[in-house]
Amino acid sequence: MNKLFFRLLILLMSLSLIGIILVQVYWFDSSFKNNDEQFKFHVKAVIGNVAEKLQKQEAYSFYDRYNHIKDSTGKIPKKEDLLEFYYVQKNTRTNETIVYSSGISSEDYNISPSFFDKKFSSERFKNFSAKRVTEIYNNNGIDKSAIQQNVLPDVKIEKSGKLDILDNAQFEIFVKDLASAMPIQERVSNLTVQKLIKKELEEYGVKTKFEFAIYNNGIATKVKSNEFKYDKEATYSIPIFTDNEGNEKYKLLITFPHKKKFLLSELVSITVLSIVFTLIIIITYSSALNQLIRQRQISEIKTDFINNMTHEFKTPIATINLALDAIKNPKIIEDKEKVFKYLQMIRDENKRMHAQVENVLRISKLEKKELDIEKESSNVEEVIEDAIEHVNLILEDREGKITTHFDALRKTVLVNEVHFTNVLVNILENAIKYSPDVPEINIYTENIKDMILIKVKDNGLGMSKVAQKRVFEKFYREHTGDLHNVKGHGLGLAYVKRIVEDHNGQVYVESEKGKGSTFIIKIPLIN
């Protein structure tokens, strides 16, 4: 795959994913704002209904009292009678008596109907007006008889106006005038307001905690919930109990402490689904991107593997051909020493090619789970000695040495001797290959609980932290810098890891650049 196309593909996929996430965020923000607007609309409708019902409830309360008075007198007032109505309210808290009187007065204009039209009757023109008087007496013992005896009130308020409707209008005026002189806590109770608000909110589907308060000219009254706190963002208000002149003395305030939580709760289900699907897209994208990168790496590794294998086979083949040509020389064929030397070279190169092929076949069989590994009880130190014998020729060629430090007291393990020997051989060959100077290898054994540790320490190049994490991956080979004699294809250590894990063991490496490496194998003991 072309590098430019590969990068362009990743860029487009990334932009698409970012776009999807941004769309989800925008949708969530828009939905939240829409819910907020809908919430405001419902709350305004609720407090409007509450204010109206509180006004009506107060009027109904006074109307009941009014009817009670009419029933007690046994006389129903008529419009024609233009009766004056008295209402007495005693306030035990303030030791005041409030007297409200309302009546209708008439004024004769003394104009004859004939002045306008001769067809009019003989009745004269009159003008009707309503007159309201509110009197406050500080003496709590005042009664209607005292009023009629012209006892002077401490406060007297008179209001009059044109009378258009004789029944409901007069009564509404009467109620508002009388109620305005009373404290708010006597006009309505906390429980009444709370129940009314709760009922209205439930009808609109607003099921969240609320607090309320009634303010008098910006000052909180006693009519409020215990936990009411003014919050500009979550508080809504409306005037209540307006007087006959339209003055807005009181305001009902409602606040919602958990407003944001409630608004979010309405989006929870769809938001969770959105997040789940977005996460699935992200995971899928990440997996696809990882696979693309991995495939690209594998492609590069396979190309490198083919080149390495070609080199691995090309060199031995060339050496064998040269040795055979040399043996054909009549002068050489008579020299048995040289013939044996060339034959040994042919044998060594052939063994090397065979080892490479065997490594490839072993890995292939391991991946297909076709490798038959039968285990038997063995002395691990004997297996180590056998592995050392396999690398002696290579070691002698490099003039290196291997020193053993067998400190383990318990040595019996359950292993396949052939495969475990190959494991140790691969590690030792790796240590020899990556030693730029004369190889010096130390092998240690020790017991830790029910495990035996095998440590193979070399004086080689060492490796980086990245290499330590990937060294057991198939086909992985770290760049060796100026060390050009290192051959191989990165299969040996992958084979090591698979075999050790099949023996219920662990293998890892400790290394530092320029200070060599230590391969550690942990295998469970059986005695």
CATH number reported for the structural domain that contains residue 460 in this entry? 3.30.565.10
Instruction: Tell whether 295 is covered by a domain.
Output: no
* Strand-by-strand arrangement of the 250-255 sheet: 219-224, 211-216, 250-255, 235-240
**Tokens in use for 524?**
């469970």
Contacts of 385 (CB under 8 A, 6+ apart): 404
Task: Quote helix, strand, coil % in the chain, to nearest 5.
Answer: 50, 20, 30
211-212-217 Cα angle (round to 5): 145
Distance of CA 523 to the CA centre of its chain: 44
pLDDT at 304: 65
Residue at a domain's end among 242, 266, 290: 266
Cα 62 to Cα 141: distance, rounded to the nearest angstrom: 22
pLDDT score at 455 = 94
- pLDDT for residue 456: 94
Assigned domain for 292 exists: no
* Final residue of a structural domain among 244, 266, 288: 266
Give a yes or no: residue 405 inside a domain. yes
- pLDDT for the residue numbered 135: 67
Q: Do 114 and 260 have their domain in common?
A: yes
Q: What are 499's two structure tokens?
A: 């075999």
**Domain-terminating residue out of 221, 239, 266:** 266
pLDDT of residue 130: 55
Amino acid residing at 372: D
DSSP 8-class letter at 525: B
Examine residue 363 and state whether it is found in any structural domain, yes or no. Answer: no
DSSP structure string for 306-356: HHHHHHHHHHHHHHHHHHHHHHHSHHHHT-HHHHHHHHHHHHHHHHHHHHH
Return phi, psi of residue 318, to 5°. Answer: -60, -40
Residue 112 lies in a domain: yes
How many domains does the chain divide into?
2
Residue 406 CB coordination number (10 Å): 15
Q: Does a structural domain hold residue 413?
A: yes
| CA–CA gap between residue 116 and residue 349 (Å, rounded) | 143
Which two three-digit tokens encode residue 325?
């040509």
pLDDT tens-digit profile, the chain (527 residues): 566 777 787 788 788 878 888 887 888 888 888 888 888 888 888 888 888 888 787 777 776 666 665 565 555 444 333 335 555 566 666 667 666 565 545 454 444 444 444 444 444 444 445 566 666 667 655 554 554 455 666 665 555 554 444 455 656 666 676 667 677 877 788 888 888 888 888 888 888 888 888 888 878 888 888 888 887 777 888 888 777 666 778 888 888 888 888 877 777 777 788 888 888 888 887 888 788 777 777 777 677 667 666 766 776 787 788 888 888 888 788 888 888 888 888 887 787 677 667 766 766 666 566 556 788 999 999 999 988 887 887 788 788 899 999 999 999 999 988 888 888 988 888 888 888 888 999 999 999 989 999 999 998 888 888 888 888 876 666 655 444 344 444 567 877 888 898 889 999 999 988 888 999 999 999 86
Confidence at residue 383, expressed as pLDDT on a 0 to 100 scale: 92
- Provide the CA 274 distance to its chain's centre, in angstroms: 12
Best CA proximity match to 229, nearest among 254, 248, 208, 247: 254
Residue with tokens 């076709």: 370
Q: Name beta bridge partners: 255.
A: 211, 235
Query: Is 65 a member of any domain?
Result: yes
Predicted local confidence at residue 65, as pLDDT:
64
Q: Are residues 262 and 381 in the same domain?
A: no
What is the C-alpha separation between 187 and 240, in angstroms, rounded?
Answer: 12
| Residue 257 structural domain | 36-266
Q: Are residues 242 and 379 in the same domain?
A: no
